Amino acid sequence: MRTITIKPLLDYYLWAPLALAGPDLVPEKDILLEIKNSFIVSQRVVQQDYLPASVLNHPRFYALEERTTLLPALIDAHVHLALDGKDFNRSRVMWDDRVSLEGRIRQELKEMISSGIGAVRDGGDCRGINLEARHLVESEQCPGPRIVATGQAIRAQGGYGSFLGLDYHNRAAIPVMVERIWASGADQLKVVVSGVVSFIEYGSVKGPLMQLDELRYIVSCARERNLKVMAHASSAAAVDLAVDADVDSIEHGYFARPESLKLMAEKQIAWVPTIIPVAVQAREPLLDLRTPLEIDVISKTYEEQIEKLNFALELGVPLGVGTDSGAGGVSHAHNLIEELMLYKAASLTNRQVLKAATSTNAGILGFNKEIGILDRGYRAALIAVQGNPLEDLEALKDVVVYLNPGS
């Protein structure tokens, strides 16, 4: 795979035999892009044989190979860079070994590039390691996708997720916490409204729920600081709470009721269903650790989630894509395509799946009208893959060019 680092202040020409252009990813042949200051400034149809000499002789002209397709880089709207996706305890021990930790994260970021991932949103960790990862990329110490960081999460009193962030003991502590998270440099605020789905008892979610008035208070404090609120909500009740409190995105959202999805469409609250972290529990190698009852519960849980995707889209819920990579069994980078294949299993069209992973996810990350679409005025965060993903999504497994426009 070839990485083209787009340097600000320089101009580039890129010719593609096929490009998925505009918000609807319309296939267009023989596209010539002109890129200035990292942004696409013009896009026109020119057959390769008719490219002008001024373009052909330009020092930064790139022509993509036949049978490749140019499209917006993929986006993963839910990762945890602080965790390795293999061994939770080992990941945590590594937090105190800064050299190994940074080495691992550098490697994950590299693999994200190889997988065509142009941006990720990190769902937080109690040490704020995601902020350090963002710094690595922004200070150009390490190539990687653009990172939207949440720093430390806020969780319900005595609730799930001590590795994600801190809880509060009274209402008065809430504005202080939000202020501190904002001051740490977080781009969004992560709130842990509920526990996680049980793999033993179908439909059960462990741990106490956040109180509605507290969640509303957190959201209003976040708004004052211009922070979007990313809410981990894994039960029907948790989804209702999060919708009621007007969060910006609902993460996981297992067991969400149809009425809640309707409200999400009305309020334009995004949904990041994270199916793969549950699905991998019933796949090799974790499968061998499970009892038949657990496999049944796990399968029922994620299959129910898959069934709701189409319904949510039809209602108009902004449907994003996130892998929860770093969580048990979900390694970084490679699982985004696995998540997309699960969307495919929900009989979404390839175009719908691609839109979720590009333009809708860009909106969830707060990069609306900036990345996620191949068009004039957008940043050149693009990839080329072998084949055409509109015809076969598996084409996304073969990324041949990655344009890295920095941030």
205 DSSP assignment: B
Query: Least distance to Zn ion from the beta carbon of 153, Å?
Result: 9
* Under 8 Å between Cβ of 12 and 405: no
Residue placing its CB nearer to Zn ion in the complex, 123 or 145: 123
Residue placing its CB nearer to Zn ion in the complex, 58 or 334: 334
16 DSSP assignment: E
Among residue numbers 105 through 134, which ones bind Zn ion (CB under 5 A)? Answer: 123
Query: Least distance to Zn ion from the beta carbon of 309, Å?
Result: 19
Query: Least distance to Zn ion from the beta carbon of 149, Å?
Result: 13
* Under 8 Å between Cβ of 202 and 301: yes
Stretch that binds Zn ion, among 239-247, 324-332, 366-374, 385-393 (CB under 5 A): 324-332
Whole-angstrom distance, CA of residue 85 vs CA of residue 371: 27
Residue placing its CB nearer to Zn ion in the complex, 84 or 370: 84
In angstroms, what CA-CA distances link 243 with 251, 268, 388? 12, 10, 37
Stretch that binds Zn ion, among 85-93, 213-221, 322-330, 370-378 (CB under 5 A): 322-330
**Residues 66-105: x/- map of binding to Zn ion (CB under 5 A)?**
----------------------------------------
Does position 324 interact with Zn ion (CB under 5 A)? The reply is yes
Residue placing its CB nearer to Zn ion in the complex, 64 or 117: 117
CA 88 to chain centre: 21
Determine how many CB atoms are found less than 10 A away from the CB of residue 114: 13
In angstroms, what CA-CA distances link 4 with 11, 53, 406? 12, 22, 11
* Under 8 Å between Cβ of 374 and 72: yes
Nearest to 38 by CA among 75, 64, 4: 4
Query: Least distance to Zn ion from the beta carbon of 277, Å?
Result: 8
* Interface size with Zn ion, residues (CB under 5 A): 2
Query: Least distance to Zn ion from the beta carbon of 275, Å?
Result: 13
Query: Least distance to Zn ion from the beta carbon of 232, Å?
Result: 6
Which residue of the chain is nearest Zn ion when measured via CB?
123
* Under 8 Å between Cβ of 1 and 114: yes
Structure tokens at 181: 């998270």
Residue placing its CB nearer to Zn ion in the complex, 240 or 324: 324
| Interface with Zn ion (CB under 5 A) | 123, 324
